[in-house]
Structure 1
């Protein structure tokens, strides 16, 4: 894409043009240097719009019913006149051969909804690259006028942290479980959660789901109270994506929490901290990119690495020499 076409693309995105949005996301997913420069210019142009969506991160173990939940939840929101975008952070897609959102037929109703936009994850093995492209896609969807952006992660540890760093609310979707499964949930992930939704609270699983909600609610009460939460949060709720029960209650609680954080200054403070975090991440990744792109620097890195491996140089001293060479 030539530079003179960027203003036209920006105007189309601001007008809600879906094709322009899809092309812009393809642009930010590209690793080519000229495309990265164009993407940065486009994002800078669109940032002036000042548009904001409610960014909701969603994580859960495989088999918990995330696709069914996203479709039912998304359809409920679009029925209320809201525009919903669904994005994914899937660092495993390059290994598994496909994204968790790659098969849109799993959300056939939502993919046909004119108020919904579903974008599969880019097939990238490097988690940082996937996160950056998803974060930039979020900015594009906000500029295009979406009200709610759902960001799904496959749940592989670090990806949850990255999604929490680009969202306003972080939701854990869990299945009905016993005490052993509850013990298996990492404390760090529990501490990140603003809400735990126990899915499949229907049919024969409903009693187990209600017990699981009670168990998670008890576990959440034991965690240290967070200043960014009003009384009663974080909380655990039962939902049934299949029967579409509990979804409206979950949405009302999400909007209540987001509104409280806005009123008390936590919402904008979180956004500001996230922006600083991603700025510093971009600088670090840019420095690492220089290490691999410059042949002379790469050769010296190999030499110093060999010297360290052979015991002829101390790691700290070799690192200092490398940083001095970079002017850092």
Structure 2
């Protein structure tokens, strides 16, 4: 039995150290590690697909960590195994992560039925997303039946996360009127459940008003799925109020998609899009690394930047300059 076979067996048996090692392998940029990671994923594919895949976004300060911990500990208390993964668009620039370390989710971090993994810090956002997708599969193979993928509400990270989960939850801060105008239309189009957090004390009235305004805004948008109309909830992760309502909404959403046969179709469509996004990334990387392309690109970029050459003609010349065989 080879080393990878042993790692796959330990992973499937639910060994946390094996899961951590497997994810480290997936996150590595070394070509030999990438080959081993692909072999490992192929070995465990039959054990994937069993988790509830939940995406969660919200601006910094909205209370994502508190909510994920409150929801996660509620689920582990019911006997579920919960994994938390992060997609952080800032990590590739700063080397940091949304999760940073596990101190933000102290109780969940020491829960034997929970696994928390910060965002990989290397590579562009597309690379981070690929590694997170593969980590998701590894968590499923290790027996985690709820995987929460967390992202900060900036850039294109929401779109990437929405394309790897079954349900997408957006956390909102209490506040109405002018604050609503700052919410990206794209986020409302992606969100299937909106949860107005920090709805406690003096914020309760503002949270209810925000919920009404969000509901009104949603009526102006076509639902992302014909099988589900987005819902708006209020609650407080700090007090635990609303966690039951949130999980009920996640369960109702899943039931609606399963009954329509849409959950299986959503995952199938996601897998095919993942396939092509990885092909595109590999082809582009190989093309950019080609010496002839690098040489031609310097002059062509200057010509385009100065207005001497249209981008379309420069692109054609650059493609012809390439010597890679795909």
Q: 2:37 aligns with which of 11, 36, 39?
A: 39
Correspondence for 1:11 among 9, 12, 17: 9
Q: Deviations over 1:188-210 (max 9, x none)?
A: 11010001000011112111111
Q: 2: distance between equivalents of 1:45 and 1:239?
A: 42
CA gap of 1:103–1:50, structure 2 versus 1, over 3 A, is closer
Q: Which residue of 2 aligns with 1:323?
A: 319
What's the counterpart of residue 124 of structure 1?
Answer: 122
Structure 1 residues without counterparts, runs of 5 or longer: none
Check whether the contact 1:58–1:172 (CA below 8 A) recurs between aligned residues. yes
Structure 2 distance, partners of 1:263, 1:275, is: 21
Q: 1:239 to 1:295 in 2, by over 3 A?
A: same
- Distance in 2 between residues matched to 1:222 and 1:309, nearest whole Å: 41
> Structure 1 residue aligned with 2:81, among 68, 76, 83?
83
Counterpart in the other structure of 1:181:
179
Q: 1:75 deviation in Å?
A: 0.5
Residues 243 and 296 of structure 1: CA distance in aligned 2, closer, same or farther (over 3 Å):
same
Q: Is the 8 A contact 1:56 1:169 kept in 2?
A: yes
Identify the match of residue 294 of structure 1 among 290, 296, 299.
Answer: 290
- Deviates most, 160-169 or 203-212: 203-212
Distance change (3 Å), C-alpha of 1:83 and 1:42? same
> Matched residues in 2 for 1:160 and 1:309: separation?
31
Q: Give the C-alpha shift of residue 77 in structure 1.
A: 0.7
Deviation of 1:129 (Å):
1.0
**1:221 positional shift:** 2.2
TM-score by length of 1: 0.93
CA–CA distance in 1 between the matches of 2:123 and 2:160? 15
Distance 1:25 1:188 in 2: 31
Alignment partners' CA distance in 1, 2:181 and 2:309:
45
- Structure 1 distance, partners of 2:239, 2:182, is 28
- Cα RMSD of the aligned pairs, angstroms, is 1.9
> What number of residue pairs does the alignment pair up?
324
Q: Partners of 1:187 and 1:76 in 2: how far apart?
A: 32
TM-superposed deviation, 1:88: 0.3
Return the TM-score normalized by structure 2: 0.94
Residues 272-319 of structure 1: CA deviation (Å, up to 9, x unaligned): 111111111111111111123333332233344345446665432332
Deviation at 1:57, TM superposition (A): 0.6
- What are the superposed Cα offsets for residues 43-66 of structure 1, whole Å, 9 maximum, x if unpaired? 111112244211111000111111
Q: 1:196 to 1:321 in 2, by over 3 A?
A: same
In the superposition, relative to structure 1, how do residues 157 and 312 fare at CA in structure 2: closer, same or farther (>3 Å)?
closer
